[in-house]
Structure 1
Amino acid sequence: MTDSRKNEPKIDADEILGGIVEWVSIESPSHDGKAVNKVVDHVEGQFRDLGLKIDRTPGIDGFGDILECRTPTEWSQGDGKGILVVAHLDTVHPIGMIEKELKIRREGDSIYGPGIYDMKAGGYIAYYALRHLVRQGKKTRLPVTFLFIPEEEVGSPTSRTRIEEAARGHKYALVMEPGRDGDKVVTSRKGVGRFTLTVKGRASHAGVRHEDGRSAILEMARQILRIEAKTDYARGITCNVGLVKGGTGVNVVSAECTADVDLRVPSPELAEEMTHWFLNLEPIGKDVELIVEGGMNRPPYQKDAGITDLFGKAQAIYREIGKELNDVPLTGGGSDGNFTAALGIPTLDGLGADGKGAHAANEQIYYSSLVPRTYLCSRLLETLE
């Protein structure tokens, strides 16, 4: 890798990895607010020591705290709207995974651990990138705000408003979600919808009075076939019935059944179309009731002119180290970048470490990606204006 800025202090991959491991060692499943706050404590201390202004909002509904860290006014060359860096500190993994399938370990280029790829490595890279500038005595051209979210993995239900409020006050958004497939970042994401269907039927004895019953499970089965048939890869629509629960006994015609559905769509128009379709579903069988609740959880994140320009700036930075940056096609995974991009804020996502195994027992990052990704983040903080 050729670095055209040879006289500057080097970015230390081992130092980055050590910091990442510290964050990963503190397990933080989304629904365990106390566990998440242990990571928040650690991150807050690091940013406070760096000299940033701290604003910590207590969590609600059992979730962890929201942490906001802002560079002092005198640090940047300009004022006004600046750069919003977004990361989340929660993971999908339950407490104890670090002692089982996801023991922290290095095997060649891969380093394993719960949440290391999605996305504690990215969050730490953002911290290190700013610290790297501070060590060099450099200032950013714009003020920078770091926003750490405690419950992104469950849809950011308590932090969405805060994310959107912060985004409106900034010129750019950099989202430290995992990198993709080598030297790739994310410039568009599908919108995410969540719907719950409840069918109410009529219970009866399955052997003696079967004809008197109205099976909620049977109705739900019909609805599931209808819903899954709405998946249309050509239009970018996917519908997945992921959870189903119903019945009270094998010898009882079921009186109630529920199903949870995941929807992904690439555009606001399709989000509106599919939301209307779901909320207007009607029963297929006789004498049963169907209730549909839900809506879009994350709006679609589309690559517009502002995002294209920001991506071009990132590509130019990556070429400084002799590498070519690309973006992935429209991805089905959602992030907090969906919220910032939907507001028209130029958003660059997937800036974290490259790796694989998000949400899985083989979650890992690649050591070889740490320096390039940190360089990219540091130079974006330094040069965006």
Structure 2
Amino acid sequence: MDVRKKELEMLRLLERLVNTDSGSYDKVGIDQLANILKPYFTELGYSIETKEQDVYGNHLVIQHPKVSDPEILIVAHMDTVFEKGTASLRPFSVKGSKAFGPGVIDMKASLVSLIYALKDLKNQRNKALQHVKIILNSDEEIGSPSSRRIIEEEAKKGIRYALIMEPARKDGSLVTERRGNGHYVMEIQGKAAHSGIEPEKGRSAIQELALKIVKLHALNDYEHGISVNVGMIEGGDAVNTISAHAIGHIDVRVSTLEQIEELEHKIEEVCSTSDVIGTKIDLSGDISRPPMIKNQQISALFEIVQQVGKEIGIEIKDTKTGGGSDASFTAALGIPTIDGLGPVGGNAHSEKEYLDIPSLLERTRLLSKLIMRLTNEENQSANSFIAKTS
């Protein structure tokens, strides 16, 4: 098939995915997206196990029936950060060499790239197609609360390499290092009173929250990669009322495994006693994603990716980022992991989110060739429909 026709075919599937709302809390939308994707994997010969969820969208575990212990785990997520109805307000569009729409780069273009990389392997009758296990989860954008266990359980079943389909950075770099992250909720109960008539009878939950924010932000140690940020607050019923209730949402980032326990202890210590007498604090949450640390195994895997890229005319660089992803789970298990293997784009989680269209075929070819290399099923079949992009 002509390369341009293949690109248009991929863009048509991408349009369908982008125009299907699949926010993390939109179970109906995510399950609808999963039903769009399932036939593509079935056509490739895979068996699909649906992990039913009550609150979140269902997760899919996809594997070829001919291989009981695949060597490669590929993880991609179906959820986005956008509210239901966003797709109808900002549907898929193409302007020049860029495509736009909610979730277009994070990470619906990656879902398309994954499908077509596997199609390429099937077209070449390459046995590497059988040596991958795929997890499509529905809650990555909110920390993978229900899919983490599934990812870790499947990763422990003889997996040698983990490939994570987050988008490549704007400059095309892959990700070999991430900070760990977590989320806490600090809920404060005070006592309401009229601020003009009898303020002395009140116990301000907002005041307590403000004092705790100062102490929590004092835990920041940017030099060593530790950040604590109370990024969202709630509280108060009226301007003339001493507030009886307040909530602070805390984002936490760490750079090493050793920092996790120490920082968790410090946060708990800050919230263990009230500064405003008569208020009570309830702290919930944890550091749910460990850091992805670039060790010798990850460096060695990245060198293989670079070699494959060089062979097909792509210069591959790597970077580290403070954002979290499911790569942290596989890396923490000691499995060589590479992240950012999706197409190139930027401005994720915003109205300006975009995909660089030329990278769609480019990164699909990279993924296809990488799977072949890692499974020792490399060949130079002329049947590949993904031509060199150089």
TM-score by length of 2: 0.91
* Cα distance in structure 2, aligned partners of 1:32 and 1:13: 29
Match of 2:362 among 367, 372, 377: 372
Specify the SS of the correspondent of 1:188.
Answer: strand
Give me the whole-angstrom Cα distance separating, in 1, the residues matched to 2:192 and 2:101: 48
Q: Distance in 2 between matches of 1:254 and 1:25?
A: 42
Alpha-carbon separation, structure 2, partners of 1:109 and 1:376: 20
- Establish whether residue 189 from structure 1 lines up as the match of residue 178 from structure 2: yes
Cα deviation for residue 368 of structure 1 reads 1.7
CA contact (8 A) 2:204 2:276 kept: no
Secondary structure at 1:290 match in 2:
strand
Distance 1:156 1:171 in 2: 22
1:14 alignment partner in structure 2: 8
Residue 294 of structure 2 corresponds to residue 303 of structure 1: yes
**Partner of 1:65 in structure 2?**
58
Partner of 1:4: none
Count, aligned residues: 371
**Per-residue deviation, 1:70:** 0.8
Q: Check the 8 A contact 2:19/2:91 in 1, yes or no.
A: no
1:33 aligns with 2:27: yes
Q: What is the CA deviation profile of residues 330-356 of structure 1, one whole-angstrom value per residue up to 9, with x for unaligned ones?
A: x11111111111111111111111111
Report the Cα distance in structure 2 between the residues aligned to 1:373 and 1:323, rounded to whole angstroms: 9
Matched, 1:347 2:337: yes
Alignment of 1:251-262 (within 5 A): 251-262=240-251
| 2:20 match: secondary structure | coil
In structure 2, distance between residues paired with 1:232 and 1:305: 26
Cα offset, 1:73, TM superposition: 2.0
Q: How does 1:275-294 map to 2 (within 5 A)?
A: 275-281=264-270, 282-294=273-285
Query: 2:115: which partner in 1?
Result: 127
- Give every structure 1 segment of 4 or more consecutive aligned residues whose post-TM-superposition deviation is greater than 4 Å: 8-11
Q: Is this contact kept in 1: 2:118–2:129, CA < 8 A?
A: no
Match for residue 5 of structure 1?
A: none
Residue 160 of structure 2 corresponds to residue 179 of structure 1: no
Q: How is 1:1-385 mapped onto 2 (pairs within 5 angstroms)?
A: 12-61=6-55, 63-73=56-66, 80-100=69-89, 102-140=90-128, 143-169=131-157, 170-281=159-270, 282-329=273-320, 331-385=321-375
The letter of the residue matching 1:351 is L
**Paired-residue identity, %:** 37
Distance 1:142 1:273, change over 3 A: farther
- Shift, 1:141, TM fit: 8.2
In 1: Cα distance, 2:29 partner to 2:212 partner: 39
Cα separation, 1, equivalents of 2:2 and 2:195: 76
Q: What TM-score, normalized by structure 1, do the two folds share?
A: 0.92
Q: Return the offset for 1:49.
A: 1.3
CA distance in 2, matches of 1:105, 1:255: 47
- Does the 8 Å contact 2:305/2:316 carry over to 1? yes
Indicate the SS of the match to 1:68.
strand
User: Cα deviations across residues 3-52 of structure 1 (Å, max 9, x unaligned)?
Assistant: xxxxx996933332222222222221111111111110111111011111
SS of residue matched to 2:293: coil
Report the CA distance between 1:99 and its aligned residue: 2.7
Give, as a single letter, the amino acid of the residue that structure 1 aligns with 2:226.
I
Give distance in 2, aligned partners of 1:204 and 1:43: 55
After TM superposition, give the deviation of residue 168 of structure 1 in Å. 1.0
In the alignment, the residues of structure 1 paired with residue 20 and residue 246 of structure 2 have an alpha-carbon distance, to the nearest angstrom, of 38
Q: Whole-Å Cα distance in 2 between the matches of residues 285 and 42 of structure 1? A: 54
Amino acid at match of 1:188: E
Structure 1 residues 301 and 222, CA gap change in structure 2 (3 angstroms): same
Distance 2:212 2:20 in 1: 42
SS at match of 2:302: helix
Whether contact under 8 Å (1:130, 1:381) holds in the other structure is: no
Structure 1 unaligned runs (5+)? 1-7
Q: For residues 211 and 300 of structure 1, what CA distance do their matches in structure 2 show?
A: 47
**Bigger shift: residues 15-24 or 357-366:** 15-24
- Of 21-30 and 125-134, more deviation after overlay is shown by 21-30
Letter in 2 for 1:127: I
